[in-house]
Amino acid sequence: MDNIEKNLPRVVSREEWLEERRALLVKEKELTRQYDRVSAERRELPWVKVEKNYVFDTPDGKRTLVELFDGRSQLIVYHFMFGPGWKEGCSGCSFVADHIDGANLHLAHHDVTVLAVSRAPLAEFLPFKQRMGWYFTWVSSHGSDFNYDYQVSTASGEETHGLSVFFKNVSGEVFHTYSTYARGVDILLGAHHYLDLTPKGRNEQGTMSWMRHHDRYDEDLRDVS
């Protein structure tokens, strides 16, 4: 039995519910205003000019960081955990990636390019991309310092995930404006925000313990049948 069924919340009248809901609404509104303040501070962070000439392998050939902007001035890079020799991507990164295509339907028309970068060679992760049915651009930084410089790969071969944002001015100069890692990437996960509205919440034994590659949920059902 789920914990929520063992410890049911109070059941009250509609009037009592409205009173407590209004009290929570005050806190929700303050949280929204605080989020807006933090977002404004994020936009006011100083920038760092990108001096290195990073080159990436893409399905359309070699591309520089400038070319990855695809004619737009803002670039969001998701650092997808897929190291050389891996057979499939990190399940958590795949969960994030499941949210990209829907957002890209709009962001591509609002001066923002969103794509994923991994350190594995291109040929190693493109089959996985096809398996997952994703359309977003996914490129390889293999052979460059990009992953190391943005702190998602280590010399010992460890990989982590994260998000980096870049801006390109009219002169073609590129600036690094923001990066975040670990739970800082949670902001991209619309599914989490849906779950946070429900009585059971994220209902996890550990961080994202319930989540699978989206083509593997049925395997759990087969395991118990």
Same domain, 109 and 32: no
Residue 211, domain member (yes or no): no
137-140 and 162-168 beta bridge pairing: unpaired
Residue 168, domain member (yes or no): yes
Same domain, 24 and 58: no
| Predicted local distance difference test score (pLDDT) of residue 4 | 60
Residue 221, domain member (yes or no): no
Same domain, 79 and 29: no
Tens digit of each residue's pLDDT, the chain (225 residues): 456 666 788 899 999 999 999 999 999 999 999 999 999 999 999 999 999 999 999 999 999 999 999 999 999 999 999 999 999 999 999 999 999 999 999 999 999 999 999 999 999 999 999 999 999 999 999 999 999 999 999 999 899 999 999 999 999 999 999 999 999 999 999 999 999 899 888 888 888 888 899 999 887 645 544
| DSSP classification of residue 64 | E
Ordered DSSP codes for 138-178: EEE-TTSSHHHHTTSB-TTS-B--EEEEEEE-TTS-EEEEE
Residue 225, domain member (yes or no): no
**Measured between alpha carbons, how far is 162 from 81 in angstroms, rounded to an integer?**
9
- Number of folded domains that form the chain: 2
| Predicted local distance difference test score (pLDDT) of residue 189 | 93
- Domain span at residue 38? 12-44
Same domain, 68 and 175: yes
**Measured between alpha carbons, how far is 73 from 168 in angstroms, rounded to an integer?**
5
Same domain, 27 and 93: no
**Measured between alpha carbons, how far is 96 from 114 in angstroms, rounded to an integer?**
12
26 burial level (CB within 10 Å; 0-12, 13-18, 19+): exposed
Residue 82, domain member (yes or no): yes
Residue 195, domain member (yes or no): no
Same domain, 38 and 54: no
Residue 3, domain member (yes or no): no
Same domain, 39 and 84: no
Q: In this structure, what CATH number is given to the domain that contains residue 155?
A: 3.40.30.10
Tokens representing 82? 């897929």
| DSSP classification of residue 61 | E
